[in-house]
Amino acid sequence: MNNFYKEIETALLSSDINQKELIILNALKYIKAKKALKSYLPKDIQTPSYATICKIVHPKKLPSRKDFSKKESLIALLHSIAHIEYSAIDLALEAIYYFNFQNYEYIFDWLEVALDEVRHFKMIQELLKELNSFYGALPVHTGLFDIAKASRGSLLERMAIIPRYYEASGLDANPKIVRKLIPFQKNPIIPKIIDALEIIYTEEITHVQKGDKWFKYLCKKDNVNFLEKFQEIIVKYNLKARANEFNIKARKKAGFSCEELIALGAKQCN
Residue 159 near residue 208, CB atoms below 8 Å: no
CA distances from 244 to 97, 172, 247, 264, 266 (A): 35, 10, 9, 10, 6
Phi/psi at 179 (5° precision)? -60, -35
Residue 91 near residue 162, CB atoms below 8 Å: yes
Model pLDDT for residues 63-104, shown as the tens digit of each residue:
877 789 999 999 999 999 999 999 999 999 999 999 989 999
Cα-Cα end-to-end distance for the chain = 48
How far apart CA 166 and CA 162 sit, in angstroms, is 5
Helices 143-150, 71-97: crossing angle, 10 deg rounding:
20
Neighbours of 91 (CB within 10 A): 26
Looking at the chain, the number of H-run helices and the number of E-run strands are 11, 0
Residue 23 near residue 11, CB atoms below 8 Å: yes
- Give every CB contact of residue 80 below 8 A, 6+ residues apart in sequence: 62, 65
User: Span 4-40+76-263: which CATH code?
Assistant: 1.20.1260
DSSP state string for 196-247:
HHHHHHHHHHHHHHHHHHHHHHHHHHTT--HHHHHHHHHHHTT----GGG--
CA proximity to 143, closest of 163, 171, 166, 127: 166
Phi/psi at 267 (5° precision)? -70, -35
- The whole-number pLDDT of residue 80 equals 96
Residue 109 near residue 123, CB atoms below 8 Å: no
Model pLDDT for residues 136-163, shown as the tens digit of each residue:
999 999 999 999 999 999 999 999 999 9
- The whole-number pLDDT of residue 245 equals 86
Residue 160 near residue 230, CB atoms below 8 Å: yes
Annotate 122-144 with b (16+ C-beta within 10 A) or e (fewer): ebbbebbeebebebbbbbbbbeb
How far apart CA 218 and CA 237 sit, in angstroms, is 19
CA proximity to 218, closest of 174, 158, 169: 158
- The whole-number pLDDT of residue 2 equals 73
Note down pLDDT in tens along the chain; length 270 residues: 778 999 999 999 999 999 999 999 999 999 999 998 988 899 999 999 999 999 999 988 888 777 899 999 999 999 999 999 999 999 999 999 999 899 999 999 999 999 999 999 999 999 999 999 999 999 999 999 999 999 999 999 999 999 999 999 999 999 999 999 999 999 999 999 999 999 999 999 999 999 999 999 999 999 999 999 999 999 999 998 788 889 999 999 999 999 999 999 998 898
**Prediction pTM value:** 0.96
